[in-house]
Chain A
Amino acid sequence: MRQVYLDHNATTPVLPEVLEVMLRYCRDDFGNPSSVHRYGRRARVAVDEARDAVAALLGAPAASIVFCSGGTEANNTILQGVAAALKDKGRHLVTSQIEHPAVLDTCAYLETQGYRVTYVPVNADGIVEPEAVAEALTEETILVSIMHANNEVGTIQPLAEIARLVRERGILLHTDAVQTFGKIPTRVDELGVDFLTFSGHKLYAPKGVGGWYARPGTPLRPLIYGGHQERGRRSGTENVAAIAALGKACELAARDMAREAARQLQLRQALEHGLRERIPAVRIQGEAAPRLPNTTNVAFAGVEGETLLMSLDLQGVAVSTGSACSSGSLEPSHVLKAMGVPAEFLHGALRFSLGRSTTREEIEYVLAILPGIVERARALSPAATP
């Protein structure tokens, strides 16, 4: 059976060139970077080179990059670490209603620790309005955290404008850039952020590696103590093979970014256009907003997303639902709810996220099978409840 992977926002395969690097530092140059001997020195060089590659993608000094286990740890470290470092200055944070759970759940934890958090809404296009952020700021606000692009709908947030309003108040700004890092430009000075979270496995490096950027001089209490690795900012023996792999993935991302973004955007537009042409009652979330070139969230009225997902899976196509229903909660996606998506579409959303391997033939295959799948699910559905 044909296999079509359209869930690159969930994770990506490790590229062959990246795997080569990874294997080298697992098998041959396996030293501990803290060791003084040649094995250690070779591993240290690998970590330093990877830091340079990440720094180049962010337009930041290498010393401002810290490696850790991934996006969730980075978000936890920044939110908890800034909160702890600045608790005498204020105990108020501002974030948005459409953040990833790694931010939202950390904020919920901070609320149990005596901090106050304001969750700024988004407009119908899934955009955080800079004025809404500005209005939420108080004398007590110590940190604002707004994601660069949303993982479910792909909307790109107006960070530079938000940054201007936040920083003129002397408040720190963090962005979770896990979905944009390697896909679109993420230069920290253009974004105007003080902290930025990145992850490896969304850009063809392995899972279990990621990190953050912290503008030099910003206060941040570590989350993990131990052997003083990463200059004491994140202890624990460096995951050398994965870090080296991430460095290689950054090089490839930088090399191919413009070309891949344009190519994937074209395929995504073909997908959106085709779905709309072939299937009635379709809604594309955030359609009017700037969005990631590889991401589209399409809802089909009167059906349940998981039913479509499973039917697609049975025919070899891997996508995801926007809905959190599958993760145990019955509630529809917090992102779609925040955007005010109409009820008939709220449960029937699918997220397609394209990647380097996506071809026109794959998009055509989806366009060939999905109309029948939606039609079948709709035929199973009761007519509008009397």
Chain B
Amino acid sequence: MTRYSDLVQEHFERPRNVGEIPNPDAEAVVSNPACGDTMHLYLRIEGDRIVEAKFKTMGCPAAIAASSVTTEMLIGRRIEEALAITRAEVSAALGGLSPQKVHCSVLSEDAIKAALRRYRPRQTEG
């Protein structure tokens, strides 16, 4: 089995921001059909800034750690900044993923883009 960095292990053991956001401003479910990993990302957005991010992921330890670190990276960012997050940054934030596990960071990048590209600010009533 792949050796994991301390950061992967730490995020795997204590993942941040696990859960769901009821009635989120943006969300996406992305999967990798080959390995079966699935990530559900939920975002709450105020103005053009992400104020809350939560996730649920089925996958290997690296996929769970990548999801966890991604939510940390998202919170506080503006939408444009969030869209600029790359798989390389996700991987770097975990101390680097082995070649076999790079696809786990791809899942995170895909989830961010899928959620935010569909995002339209809510129209306030009245």
Contacts and interface: CB of A to CB of B under 8 A. Distances in A.
Interface of A: 302-304, 306-307, 309-310, 314, 321, 325-326, 328, 330-332, 343, 346-347, 377, 379-383, 385-386
A56 B22 CA distance: 68
A325 B35 contact: yes
B105 interface: no
Given A332-B36, A347-B36, A386-B29, A326 B1 contact: yes
A314 B18 CA distance: 20
Contacts, number: 65
Nearest to B59: A304
Contacts of B60: 304, 306-307, 325
Nearest to B68: A380
A380 B64 contact: yes
Interface of B: 1-2, 4, 12-13, 15, 18, 29, 31-32, 34-40, 56-61, 63-64, 99-100, 103
B56 to A, nearest CB: 4
A331 B34 contact: yes
Contacts of A304: 36-37, 58-60, 63
Given A325-B35, A332-B36, A382-B29, A314 B13 contact: yes
Given A309-B1, A380-B64, A382-B29, A330 B34 contact: yes
Question: What is the predominant secondary structure among interface residues of chain B facing chain A?
Answer: mixed
The 6 A-B residue pairs with the shortest CB-CB distance in the complex, in nearest-first order: A382-B40, A381-B58, A330-B35, A326-B1, A330-B34, A382-B56
Contacts of B12: 307, 310
Given A306-B60, A380-B18, A346 B38 contact: no
B39 A382 contact: yes
Given A309-B1, A385-B29, A347 B35 contact: yes
11 contacts: A304-B59, A306-B1, A307-B59, A307-B64, A328-B99, A377-B58, A381-B58, A382-B38, A382-B40, A382-B56, A385-B31
Contacts of A307: 12, 59-61, 64
A138 to B, nearest CB: 34
Contact of B57 (A331, A382, A383, A386): A382
Contacts of B59: 304, 307
Nearest to B40: A382
A304 B104 CA distance: 13
A306 B56 contact: no
